[in-house]
Amino acid sequence: MNRKIGPNQSQRFTKPPEDSEQLNPEPLKLFKNKEIREQVLLGLHQKSVLSANDFSAEQITELVKFAASLESLEISKAHPLDGKIAITAFFEASTRTRCSFESAVLRLDGKIISIPEGSTTGVKKGESLEDVGEMFNAYGDLVIMRHTATDAIARIRQGLRLPIINAGNGTGEHPTQALADWYALIKWRPALIDPDAALSLKLGILGTPGSMRAVKSFLLMALKFRDKIDSVTFISEMADPLGDEIKEAIRSAGIDYTVSNDMGKHLPELDVIYMNSIVCVGENYTAMDSSYKLNKDSPLKEGAVILHPLARLDELDRSLDDSPHNLYFSQAHGAVFIRQALLICILGRLNTMPREVPLVP
Amino acid sequence: MNRKIGPNQSQRFTKPPEDSEQLNPEPLKLFKNKEIREQVLLGLHQKSVLSANDFSAEQITELVKFAASLESLEISKAHPLDGKIAITAFFEASTRTRCSFESAVLRLDGKIISIPEGSTTGVKKGESLEDVGEMFNAYGDLVIMRHTATDAIARIRQGLRLPIINAGNGTGEHPTQALADWYALIKWRPALIDPDAALSLKLGILGTPGSMRAVKSFLLMALKFRDKIDSVTFISEMADPLGDEIKEAIRSAGIDYTVSNDMGKHLPELDVIYMNSIVCVGENYTAMDSSYKLNKDSPLKEGAVILHPLARLDELDRSLDDSPHNLYFSQAHGAVFIRQALLICILGRLNTMPREVPLVP
Amino acid sequence: MNRKIGPNQSQRFTKPPEDSEQLNPEPLKLFKNKEIREQVLLGLHQKSVLSANDFSAEQITELVKFAASLESLEISKAHPLDGKIAITAFFEASTRTRCSFESAVLRLDGKIISIPEGSTTGVKKGESLEDVGEMFNAYGDLVIMRHTATDAIARIRQGLRLPIINAGNGTGEHPTQALADWYALIKWRPALIDPDAALSLKLGILGTPGSMRAVKSFLLMALKFRDKIDSVTFISEMADPLGDEIKEAIRSAGIDYTVSNDMGKHLPELDVIYMNSIVCVGENYTAMDSSYKLNKDSPLKEGAVILHPLARLDELDRSLDDSPHNLYFSQAHGAVFIRQALLICILGRLNTMPREVPLVP
């Protein structure tokens, strides 16, 4: 197999899984229109990212193309984040997300002040998040925060004058996870961002968007692509896995949706299955809806793909890892690049990009 | 308002609080004599900092002017700490202080080995601090340590041949917090370091220097400026909030002091109020003297300023944040610069300073 | 005393202990044959290090000479690990080893993503180590992992395509500690790597290789130098401190060994004493065999040396620190350099070395 692969990918995929050509092609070659509209991305300068709704469809589209450039080209010599400090404030611990952001920053030559576990902080002393925000103003250029409390982002912003990226707030949102999800999906179906292409995807969600922040952000971002989405099927043991806010959002987007507890019935129709068995309840994690399990013998539609923000228990069997349904590894790997794209925009360093990156005014 | 602001400040104060001109002016313009006497600062090379008493009034004066330069000028291109590694060993957790030091080091292009919570170390295995010191010799160029035990600094120094900065030891001291306190105060009243200027400040301390290390270091450093200080009033519910050592130090400095439990009576006379409700007792924190609370309706003298090393509970109401009494945000922001000044001196990198920094032999 | 000392050493040994000339001479001058055979070291490129047995005697020899170069010469301007990210994943906490690796990486201008305590990770959520490995592929260039579970390395490798260095796995091994041990010993007796020199060392081990990973790796590496070793004496209170695997390894190496519980009888004969009183049992540490204690009055042979991977309790008295028997400080200090040598080889950066490093094809 004559795989053409960009320099940033080469390291990651020295031992590519089967069908990697389909799941991990050279990203920049995917898109009919490779040109990145700089004007759209400039709108993200110094912006905070709290919700998937903070992005327009246009911004997501340009971020995805920009991320594909970063994944395909070698841009480290541009030192895009030289002199910038990101504070990774994980008041709720997480390896995956913290390391993904720290890797993104370090590969761009930025620096990190890391708070790997917030319980090791003054918050233990009863300190208010407002004051923490006030202090962070002096320490860095950007805050990336995760917290067990849903209102934590709002509270810290009362003191904070730096941009902040919400990396997961209680049962709220996790918008950059949604960016990673849709980056993987758009690489899988570039038609999602091609206005001339017809597409009618059936999305399935195993889980509870009402209490799973990653699922919620995924869904809210899905609504930005309403023209390409036929329907959403929620498979959950709960009577109402959505809650009013999410139901209203889907309704206004004009997308059909179904709630069911019968996975077997719906699975063979779905093009995209989003899974996440873990839900954050206060300080702890609970497995939810874990009776819905997928393995290589599950009746998946041919060509269907599975997304999972990982940290899996047994709901997603490793027998699927080598199958063409596995889009979750691409989702995990791409997260670094879409986060790099976002960081460069927020920190105002698009001007450092080498000319190989196809930016147009 | 036509604020002139240095490049390092600009980021911090994009949305300045009211009266920021008074509280956060361009620091370098404050002083009649801007020239920094290099000879005085060279005396700090490879020195450890254990107590506020390790600094002479002269060294504090020059450090403050140097910090003002760093706050006003852009010196990052000088890469002052290039190739140097600071070990931030926080055997007692603290976001504020650890991040302040790490930011100071990273902005100067030094590197960090971070121990965000000492319980994650060999000390758990019963390892002696002496051996930890011995190991640190091989790993870095400077140790910045916080510990719950007051004798921890003395113990680690038995094995350590690198300079160490005490970032808080039990009920002992926190000398660089005192530097940050006095940096803020001297920017507020430059007359403090002007030998020709008359000044007679009434200091008030809400708290218990005998068991609050930040308060103790603040007070010991205050004694270096005895000529400019009229009196110190301690407001505390304790019969003896000072202890013999501190009483003796104040007496030898020849400064009047009063101990009282009546805040209302003394507040209207005070020029500077130092607050800190939190005291470290063993491994835990306790709120002390918290019946003394300040808010915007407190009978503060016009022009009086409040200092607080932050990590506040409810003793310092947020209604004061936007008032001209708020010097505690300046105190927090300036901490990074006074620590940078100290780090450059201890690590012997004054010679990297660009000519804009007004060093004189 | 006219000590000649390399630039990298100078900082560490500004206040050298007595007899430091013997214990810490300029390393590069020690060896008759200073030339480093690059071809041997190239064999380590992209290799994982799980066990002391992953190194041949030839590789250890060349690594030791390379480390001696790094300790003697100033190579930081070569920026050997520029652009490389090491992930230090300490699912079992350790200051000493984590900081030693991080210092090695930072001094070579590499970058670090630090997981100081693995309990702060998704593993808490029940996440599998296989998935952690999969994620790490996207984040860095090398993983350095410690874990309380002996099978952890094998598990993470199921998902990991980056090279991994085992920094201690349960009761398994700690191969880079063994490299540090033998680096210290070879600097003490360069004849160990001189094929023409006769040497017949009597090794003594206080402890239980069967359940002490550092002792086990030390012993397995000792067997690579079988021609220079007369015998090994194990002093332990346990009836069988070795276990079948280790006994078989010693037997096939053709080295005499004795197991005894009588320290006093054997001590005066031993040339090298390896101590380690701490054993990792599950998540906790236990002091074992601690009835065997050494101090300056112990009947040590003249010229004998003590090794201890530190984290000592009271089994190794500080009265020995200033004695010529103290090789454990050299062992601790040299660890940074032998780890640097290994990192440069694994990450393929031998080609960055300046010409002062005596590499030959």
Please state the rounded mean pLDDT for residues A163-186.
Answer: 96
Show residues of chain A in contact with C109, CB under 8 Å: none
Answer whether residue C303 shows pLDDT above 70: yes
Query: What are residue C142's DSSP bridge partners?
Result: C86
pLDDT attached to residue C112 = 97
Chains that touch C (3 or more CB pairs under 8 A): A, B
**Exposed/middle/buried for A188, CB within 10 Å: 0-12, 13-18, 19+?**
buried
Q: Which chains touch A (3 or more CB pairs under 8 A)?
A: B, C
Neighbours of A47 (CB within 10 A): 16
Residue C1 has pLDDT above 60, yes or no: no
Instruction: Quote the tokens at residue B41.
Output: 């600062």
Tens of pLDDT along C98-142? 999 999 999 999 999 999 876 544 445 456 888 889 899 999 999
**Residue C110 CA, distance from chain mean position:** 21
C82 touching A (Cβ < 8 Å): no
Asked if A226 is an interface residue toward chain B (Cβ–Cβ < 8 A), one would say no
Report angle CA A114, A116, A118 to the nearest 5 degrees. 110
CATH architecture of C176-331: 3-Layer(aba) Sandwich (3.40)
For residue B322, how many other CB atoms are within 10 A of its CB? Answer: 12
A86-98: average pLDDT: 89
Average pLDDT, integer, range C166-189 = 96
User: What's the whole-number average pLDDT of chain A?
Assistant: 86
Q: Are C337 and C67 in contact (CB under 8 A)?
A: yes
CATH 2.40.30.10 fits A27-173+334-360, yes or no: no
pTM score = 0.90
Nearest CA in chain C to B347: C11
Question: Taking CB atoms and an 8 Å cutoff, what residues of chain B touch A125?
Answer: 278, 285, 311
Q: Is it the case that residue A117 has pLDDT exceeding 90?
A: no
Structure-block tokens of residue B224: 């270096």
Distance from CA of A116 to the nearest CA of B (A): 8
CATH architecture of A175-332: 3-Layer(aba) Sandwich (3.40)
Any CB–CB contact under 8 A between B103 and chain C?
no
The three-point CA angle B15-B21-B24 to 5° equals 75
Q: Say which DSSP state A325 is in.
A: T
C35, with CB counted inside 10 A (0-12, 13-18, 19+), is exposed
Q: Which CATH architecture has domain B26-174+334-360?
A: 3-Layer(aba) Sandwich (3.40)
Across the interface, which of B113, B119, B125 has its CB nearest the CB of C102? B113
Indicate the helix (H) or strand (E) that contains C119. Answer: none
C85-90 and C111-115 strand pairing: parallel
Q: Are C256 and C234 in contact (CB under 8 A)?
A: no
pLDDT tens-digit map of B166-181: 999 988 999 999 999 9
| Between A349 and B282, the higher pLDDT residue | A349
A94: nearest CB among C122, C137, C141: C122
Instruction: For residues B151 and B170, give the distance between their C-alpha atoms in angstroms, rounded to a whole number.
Output: 8
According to CATH, where is 3.40.50.1370 located in chain A? 27-173+334-360, 175-332
Please give the pLDDT value at position C286.
Answer: 55
Please indicate whether, in this complex, the C-beta atoms of A12 and C161 are within 8 angstroms of each other.
yes
- At B319 the three-state DSSP class reads helix
d(CA B330, CA B336): 11
How many inter-chain contacts (A to B, CB under 8 Å) are there? Answer: 87
User: Exposed, middle or buried, B16 (CB in 10 Å: 0-12/13-18/19+)?
Assistant: middle
User: Which residues in chain B have their CB less than 8 angstroms from residue C285's CB?
Assistant: 124-126
Kindly state the tokens that stand for B140: 């870095």
CB contact under 8 A, A310 and C135: yes
* Cα A106 to Cα A112: distance, rounded to the nearest angstrom: 8
C31-80: pLDDT as tens digits: 888 899 999 999 999 999 999 999 999 999 999 999 999 999 888 789 99
- Opening angle at CA B186, ends B184 and B192, nearest 5: 155
- Within 160-199 of B, beta carbons closer than 8 Å to C belong to 161
* C23-174+333-360 fold: Rossmann fold (3.40.50)
- For CATH 3.40.50.1370, the residue range(s) in chain C are 23-174+333-360, 176-331
| CATH annotation of B176-332 | 3.40.50.1370
- C144 neighbourhood in chain B, CB within 8 Å: none
Count of H helices and E strands in chain C?
12, 13
Contacts of C313 in chain B (CB under 8 A): 126-127
Question: Tokens standing for A132?
Answer: 């923490």
Residue B109 at interface with chain C, using a CB cutoff of 8 Å: no
Which of A235-244, A338-347, B121-130 has the lowest average pLDDT? B121-130
Domain with CATH 3.40.50.1370 in chain B: 26-174+334-360, 176-332
Alpha-helix residue ranges (DSSP H) falling in chain A: 7-12, 20-23, 38-42, 57-72, 95-107, 129-139, 152-157, 175-188, 213-222, 244-253, 263-266, 328-346
